[in-house]
């Protein structure tokens, strides 16, 4: 019997989770330490992800995907993250790049981009962040200026997860004056287009099997490259990030579950002063707190996914899920490291790797501070609405 709460999945989500668990046990987890050590993109994982349908499970069926629920995607990412956080991060980046197209793309864009991802694993990348415009996405400096029958895009993007292995980019650029309303638009940019340069592969602390890059742009795109409504790009980006936050929450939970299992098993087996160290309250209480916190963060994450699948707005709930899961993961992994002590601190300990992999979940798709800003604004709005009733 598991002490930690497990989600009651429908048959579809359960089948996807089981498929992910099998692949993780056979292929992803055994390679995780070497991938991390060598900071190597696991190209050998792409084919089984594609063949199994996992890499395109969230793509609508009419474009070659499985049309699976967000709950299914959450279950898969959480499961894969327990074995290899880098592979889970690759899956998360695939969905992050695809969702702007799912939410706002034209029929042709969906056929080309989503179909290419589902059939051939051709990744689409979410290119929003800049060196001076991370948390403050509205401050981006990349511009798109009308030129002929299209747009001239100039600027530089950073922190592109999967950037080194993406075929297309959804680039967010200013199409109006700084500070104006509705002045950001989204564009499809082909990696092979003239004036598109992917460079500067980051040397990262964790999720070292992903390729995080810069993107330099001085390129022309046709008018048909606009994704969604001109000037509404920031709304599209924020809607995408609301979904992405739930996926990151699942990743954070998976990393924490891995560390918890390592610490639990060690605490039961390790003997000091004539008994298992879990029988010492200093250790047992840490695991009790971890099980409770992990149950809570999983409940909120799966509830956010369920709400999205039911057609509800998850702006607030997604921020809560990401905040709770990422910070819970931090504390669970930290306590696991303390329980394993020296054995957890040295490589190739899974907990040592999780300790580094976990940290990014508190940063990307909006830092913990930004989640609190989102929630504070929601509280203020709710209070104002209540006062008017």
The reply to whether 262 belongs to the active site is no
Reduce the DSSP state of residue 267 to 3 states and report it. Answer: helix
Burial class (CB in 10 A: 0-12, 13-18, 19+), 107: exposed
Q: Alpha carbon of 366 to those of 66, 151, 198, 300: distances in Å?
A: 28, 29, 23, 18
* Candidates 130, 262, 352, 365; catalytic one: 365
Question: How is residue 232 annotated by DSSP?
Answer: B
Q: Give the contacts of 75 (CB within 8 A, at least 6 positions apart).
A: 7, 9, 13, 14, 16, 17, 20, 250
Q: How far is CA 253 from CA 40, 85, 116, 122, 293, in A?
A: 24, 11, 30, 27, 10
Contact (Cβ atoms closer than 8 angstroms) between residue 89 and residue 248: no
> Under 8 Å CB-to-CB from 342, ≥6 apart: which residues?
none
> Residue 222: in which H helix or E strand, if any?
strand 212-222
Q: State the Cα–Cα distance between residues 375 and 370, nearest whole angstrom.
A: 9
Alpha helices for the chain (secondary structure H): 11-23, 29-38, 46-52, 70-83, 85-104, 107-109, 115-120, 233-269, 281-309, 315-340, 342-345, 350-358, 368-388
What sign for the dihedral angle of Cα 271, 274, 280, 284?
A: positive
> Which candidate, 29, 7, 134, 11, places its Cα nearest to that of 75?
7
Residue closest to 344 by CA, chosen among 246, 282, 260: 260
Cis peptide before 348 (omega within 30 of 0): yes
Sign of CA dihedral 338, 343, 346, 348: negative
DSSP class of residue 53 equals T
CA dist 88 and 206 (Å) reads: 12
For the annotated catalytic residues, the residue numbers are 365
């Amino acid at each position: 019997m598991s002490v930690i709460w497990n989600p009651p999945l429908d048959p579809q989500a359960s089948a996807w989770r089981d498929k992910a668990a099998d692949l993780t046990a056979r292929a992803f987890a055994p390679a995780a330490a070497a991938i991390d050590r060598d900071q190597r993109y696991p190209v050998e994982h792409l084919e089984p992800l594609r063949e199994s349908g996992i890499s395109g499970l969230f793509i609508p069926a009419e474009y070659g995907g499985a049309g699976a629920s967000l709950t299914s995607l959450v279950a898969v990412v959480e499961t894969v993250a327990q074995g290899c956080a880098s592979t889970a991060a690759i899956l998360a980046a695939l969905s992050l790049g695809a969702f702007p197209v799912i939410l706002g793309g034209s029929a042709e864009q969906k056929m080309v981009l989503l179909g290419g991802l589902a059939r051939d694993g051709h990744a689409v990348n979410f290119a929003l962040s800049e060196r001076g415009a991370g948390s403050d996405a509205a401050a981006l400096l990349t511009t798109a200026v009308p030129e002929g029958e299209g747009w001239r895009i100039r600027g530089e993007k950073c922190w592109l997860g999967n950037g080194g292995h993406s075929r297309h980019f959804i680039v967010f650029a200013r199409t109006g004056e700084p500070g104006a309303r509705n002045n950001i638009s989204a564009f499809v940019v082909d990696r092979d287009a003239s004036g598109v340069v992917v460079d500067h592969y980051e040397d990262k602390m964790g999720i070292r099997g992903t390729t995080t890059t810069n993107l330099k742009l001085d390129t022309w795109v046709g008018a048909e490259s606009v994704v969604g409504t001109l000037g509404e790009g920031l709304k599209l980006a924020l809607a995408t990030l609301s979904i992405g936050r739930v996926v990151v929450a699942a990743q954070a939970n998976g990393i924490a579950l891995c560390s918890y299992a390592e610490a639990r098993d060690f605490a039961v087996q390790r003997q000091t002063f004539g008994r298992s160290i879990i029988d010492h309250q200093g250790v047992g209480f840490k695991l009790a707190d971890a099980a409770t916190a992990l149950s809570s963060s999983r409940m909120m994450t799966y509830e956010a996914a369920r709400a999205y699948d039911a057609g509800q707005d998850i702006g607030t709930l997604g921020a809560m899920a990401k905040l709770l899961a990422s910070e819970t993961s931090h504390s669970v992994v930290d306590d696991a490291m303390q329980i394993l002590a020296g054995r957890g601190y040295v490589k190739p300990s899974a907990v040592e790797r999780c300790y580094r992999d976990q940290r990014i979940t508190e940063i990307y798709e909006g830092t913990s501070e930004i989640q609190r800003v989102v929630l504070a604004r929601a509280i203020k709005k709710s209070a104002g609405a209540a006062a008017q009733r």
